[in-house]
Amino acid sequence: MCGTCGCGEGQVHIDGKHHHSEAREIALERNIMAKNNGYADANRARFHANHTLALNLVSSPGSGKTELLVKTIAAVGTDTPCHVIEGDQQTSNDADRIRATGAPAVQINTGKGCHLDAHMVGHAVDDLAPEPGGILFIENVGNLVCPAGFDLGEAHKVVVLSVTEGEDKPLKYPDMFAAADLALINKADLLPYLDIDVDLMIANARRINPNINVIQISAKTGAGMPAWLAWIKAAQAALLPASAAE
């Protein structure tokens, strides 16, 4: 409402003068997520041109994403350049842990934000300038909800679920399992100490996403690591050569 004369909507002050112009309606029908998707497409085109395999790792906090990455980078070796974008609300701890392996890492602090978006990732890729033909691991903010809805331009989402989190998590957070192509069931070394039914956990993930690949793994002992490395190799091989671009 106008504070000067008390008139209602559709009446505005422009340059201090009082205009009573007609309000009109504009039909937009505009998808709000399209904004993020546009940035994601641009990232995807860049990854394609650079022959980079981009993987978006999603999980709840503490499932072992950073630990897995540290071990994975060591296992991949120096033939394939690895780069990491770390997303956390606060601190650069995880990027420091990655850099200790020798791999370049950029930390994005999202503050109150609960997920990475494609625009932030685009800027992080500017900073990283990944070497062609390598792997870009994107460790998303620990959160099984929001990151599912934000395409970053990655080739695959990889959901990490640790065995201590309970069999029902795929059913409680279905969007994440629906969006992921691979589930890494981490901390398998703890299975002897737990009552969890890991087959039920996997069955629940497949109930949501019948096509999801599943690998039981332990970042601590290295069990399951060969299967994960083989999956990465296959994903790299499946990338179209940059010269075969559309």
Partner 1 sequence: MHEMSLCENIREIIEEQAKLDGFSHVNRVWLEVGPLSCVEPDALRFGFDVVMRGSVAQGASVEITSSPAKAHCLACQTTVQIQQRYDPCPTCGVGPMEIIQGDAFKISKLEVV
- Given 74, 145, 198, 229, the residue binding partner 1 (CB under 8 A): 145
- Given 175, 191, 196, 239, the residue binding partner 1 (CB under 8 A): 175
Contact (Cβ atoms closer than 8 angstroms) between residue 60 and residue 144? yes
Residue 208 binds partner 1, judged by CB under 8 A:
yes
**Cα–Cα distance between 235 and 238 in angstroms, integer?**
5
Structure-token match 């072992």, residue found: 64
| Residue 175 vs 189, nearer CB to partner 1 | 175
Residue 17 binds partner 1, judged by CB under 8 A:
no
- Given 37, 145, 189, 239, the residue binding ligand GDP (CB under 6 A): 189
Total of chain residues touching ligand GDP, rule CB under 6 A: 16
- Strand order from edge to edge, sheet including 182-186: 105-109, 82-88, 135-139, 53-58, 156-162, 182-186, 213-216
Applying the rule CB under 5 A, the residues between 46 and 65 that interact with Mg ion are 65
The site partner of 218 among Mg ion, partner 1, ligand GDP, none (C-beta below 5 to 8 Å per kind) is ligand GDP
**Cα–Cα distance between 98 and 67 in angstroms, integer?**
9
Residue 109 binds partner 1, judged by CB under 8 A:
no
| Residue 36 vs 186, nearer CB to ligand GDP | 186
Strand partners, 82: 135
φ and ψ of 112, to 5 deg: -80, -15
**Cα–Cα distance between 103 and 82 in angstroms, integer?**
6
Q: Identity (one letter) of the amino acid at 197? A: D
Q: Write down the least CB distance from residue 145 to partner 1, Å.
A: 7
Q: List interacting residues with ligand GDP (CB under 6 A).
A: 59, 61-67, 142, 186-187, 189-190, 218-220
